[in-house]
Amino acid sequence: MSPLNKIAPKITNQNQLKQLHAQLIQNSLHHHNYWVAQLIHLCTRLHAPPRYTTWIFHSAHKPNVLVFTHMLKYHSKWGAKNEVFTLFDEMQKANIKPDYFVYPLLIKLSGKAGISFHAHLLKRNLDHDKYIKNAVMGFYGKCGPIEFARQLFDEMPERTTADWNSIISVYWNWGNEIQAKKLFDLVPEKNVITWTAMVSGFSRTKDLETARWYFDQMPGKSTVSWNAMISGYAQNGFAEEAIELFNEMMSVGFRPNETTWVAVVSSCSTRGDPVLAESLVKRMDKKGICPNYFVKTALLDMYAKCGNLEMARNIFDGLGVYRNSVTWNAMIAAYTRVGDLASALELFHRMPEKNVISWNSIIAGCSQNGESAVALELFKEMIANKDLKPDEVTLVSVLSACGHLGALELGNWVVKYITEDKMKLSISGYNSLIFMYSKCGSTRHARQIFQEMENRDVISYNTLITGFAAYGSGVEALELLSKMKEESIKPDRITYIGILTACSHSGLLIEGREVFESIKHPDIDHYACMVDLYSRVGKLDEAKRLIYSMPMQPHAGIYGSLLNASRVHKRIDHGEFAANKLFVLEPENSGNYVLLSNIYATAGRWEDVNRIRWLMKKKGVKKTTGWSRVEHGGKIHRFIVGDHAHKLSEDIYRVLAEMKKKMRVAGYIADESCVLRDVEEEEKEEMVGIHSEKLAVAFALLVSEPGSIIRVVKNLRICGDCHLAIKIISQLEHREVIVRDNNRFHSFKDGVCSCNDYW
């Protein structure tokens, strides 16, 4: 045994551990309690996988107190609470009396059950041990009430420095800076841990200046104290300071440990700087650092945030049995960040154990990447799991998805879930409610949420202003701007974009111009809003002059506004000017070709229409398929032009035919200017008659209750004929029809549209 005893302390990695294990098996020593305990101790130090360590534990025929204690320590280090208490129960059943220092491990992991442990210790008269007392004090300091922790401290006949350090940490844990400072000043003999507790405490309260003062005043530093200050910088977003302090640590001869590397790597993640990340990895290689599980997890996150998914995935795959929810979540978030939802979903479905963060990552990823319907299906799957409870982060993503889909039924269902669960929302949660209601065309509810908020921020105002802008409620948006200034909330660039858009959609030229002139440093999007405003009111020459006077190069949106206005106001010259610019800036955007074709078709210039169609064919540009969605029965029903795929298709076309007859009696004549081809009049009418928004409205009339509001979402701008048709339908059917196209809302009621035909 002597040679093996000498080898054990020198083991530094898992391969050496397995070699020692093999030697023990060859010598039939692997089932001896002494060696089982030594192997488990090495597994703890080297972060060996649980399956391997558990196998070693079970190789002892009759594990003694030493084996049990080391196994408890192993599970404790991994935070495996269930395994710790299961093992402790086995220990009790085997009539093995635990050592005193087992109880502190149990108390730290017990959570609220720590009270029962304290009672057990009092009953067995085990509470006199100083380590146990310290652990019990720490338990009350963590779970409360804090007065019990202080009472235990005050009743101690002799207090060690460790006790002083614990009570200081207790007060920091409850955010009581004043008491922590008072106790620090009273400590008779401060050690490095005492000083480090102050550094960590002030870092936790984000007072990094004071934390650094205590760090600099320390009479002696340890790696732990350097880690506390570096982590303080890293966790509060001060990446440069963290890296600078790390360099200083290295220069004065301190050897970084795994905690140091995790903090520094995390700082590189925050920066998202691939060059910095690469230099850090080179430094680790130069120092001969063999990253452990924690450091590898941090490296994975760093590579993911720096956009190097190949390296991130290599680390992820290499972790094997060491992969936990943190690594899975980091990899899923990395894929969603670059829009690779297929890979993200594939990993998510393979994930052995999903927590709330896992669900939040995939739901948010789907919502942010245009897969709102998938996000909602995932949310339904999540709440079906009774062991999981969505948090506010989940609901913000889900409400966002409802808003993008225009799914008010589903949105109201989520609101009901929030109400019934009595969830307390932060400003972010309320803002997401305003967004959802605004995007679903219910500005009344959006305003109501806004007014009920105790505190509002700039995002609250911007969200509601944007909602009013989409509805063409310019006066209401301007009133919000005034209220915002009254509350001393400073408008930002998004605020002004929303206000100018609202003025544009309402034809408020004078007010819009005043707002624009009040902006100290207008950016390109503010200019775009003004060009749109001039264009909509028919002042195309002024719009063009503004484009020429801009201090920056115009983007496609600016020329797009001018092109669309040229169609509305029948200005072929301006339309050709804008379209030619757009053909260079956005050669693949079919909408620009279609708009110019519309301008030519309205003027009867069919040769030019054919020329544009030939140009599209030559460049391989395909017209974007228009679709319209309508919500019914908790599902989203989608239609395209001439759609016959829906299971109620026959009934939908029957309703549409009946509506056409009623509309003709009411004086409806199809607006055929939307048709791009020179075809017979009867064929033109048939082509515009089966547009997706008409099919969506017909479906809603078929399945919804009489008198209920119909809500339609369209991916393109609503055409003139559909706009006219839905106005008449709203009057004939006594229904309000709300259509959200890619530009704004149209609320049709009693034969009138909220846009006043100004669209």
pTM of the model: 0.73
- 593 and 686 both lie in a single domain: no
Residue 693 shares a structural domain with residue 580: no
Strands (E), 641-744: 710-714, 737-740
Q: What is the pLDDT, as a whole number, of residue 678?
A: 42
- Structure-model confidence comparison of residues 512 and 262, the more confident one: 512
Based on the domain organization, do 548 and 617 belong to the same domain?
Answer: yes
Distance CA 367, CA 174 (A): 36
pLDDT tens readout for residues 137-165: 766 667 667 777 777 777 777 888 888 88
Tell me which of 608, 624, 640 is where a domain ends. 624
pLDDT of residue 679: 39
Tell whether 517 is covered by a domain. Answer: no
Q: Give backbone dihedrals phi and psi of 628, rounded to 5 degrees, phi first.
A: -135, 140
- 546 shares its domain with 585: yes
Residue 353 lies in a domain: no
Range of the domain at 541: 526-624
Same-domain check for residues 618 and 634: no
- Domain assignment present for residue 720? The answer is yes
pLDDT digits (tens, 9 = 90+) for 218-262: 998 898 999 999 989 888 888 888 888 988 988 888 888 778 888
Cα distances (angstroms) measured from residue 675 to each of 12, 492, 565, 634: 77, 42, 18, 35
**Residues 747 and 649 grouped into a single domain:** yes
Confidence of residue 74 (pLDDT cuts 50, 70, 90): confident
End position of a domain, from candidates 624, 648, 665: 624
* Dihedral sign computed on CA atoms, order 300, 302, 307, 308: negative
611 and 639: one domain? no
How do residues 676-690 score in pLDDT, each as one tens digit?
444 344 444 445 568
Confidence at residue 677, expressed as pLDDT on a 0 to 100 scale = 47
* pLDDT bracket for residue 483 (50, 70, 90): very high
Q: In what order do the strands lie in the sheet with 710-714?
A: 635-640, 627-632, 710-714, 737-740, 745-749, 752-753
- Tell me, yes or no, whether 178 lies in a domain: no
Domain count, the chain: 2
Considering the domain architecture, whether residues 615 and 669 belong to the same structural domain is answered as: no
How far is the C-alpha of 614 from the C-alpha of 608, rounded, in Å? 10
Tokens of 300: 């994975």
Tell me, yes or no, whether 548 and 665 share the same domain. Answer: no
Q: Given a cut of 50, is residue 454 above it in pLDDT? A: yes
Within-domain flag for 388 = no
Q: Are residues 641 and 714 in the same domain?
A: yes
Domain boundary among 573, 607, 624: 624
The SS3 of residue 578 is helix
SS3 per residue for 181-240: HHHHHHCCCCCHHHHHHHHHHHHHCCCHHHHHHHHHHCCCCCHHHHHHHHHHHHHCCCHH
Whether residue 684 lies inside any domain: the answer is: yes
Question: Which residues is 738 bridged to in the sheet?
Answer: 711, 747
Question: 308: buried, middle or exposed (CB in 10 Å: 19+, 13-18, 0-12)?
Answer: middle
Rounded-to-integer distance, Cα 692 and Cα 629, Å:
9
Least confident of 427-431, 540-544, 575-579, 603-607: 603-607
Write out the DSSP string of 73-95. Answer: HHHHHHT-HHHHHHHHHHHHHTT
Look at 273 and 517; give whichever has higher pLDDT: 517
Is the residue at 503 inside a domain? no
Q: What is the pLDDT of residue 379?
A: 92
Give 740-757 pLDDT, tens digit per residue. Answer: 998 899 999 999 999 888
Candidates 224, 590, 636; CA nearest to 409 is 636
Cα–Cα distance, 89 to 82 (Å, whole number): 11
- Say if residue 643 is in the same domain as residue 724: yes
The CATH number assigned to the domain holding 566 equals 1.25.40
Q: Are residues 731 and 690 in the same domain?
A: yes
| Phi, psi for 629 (deg, rounded to 5) | -120, 150
The answer to whether residue 533 is domain-embedded is yes
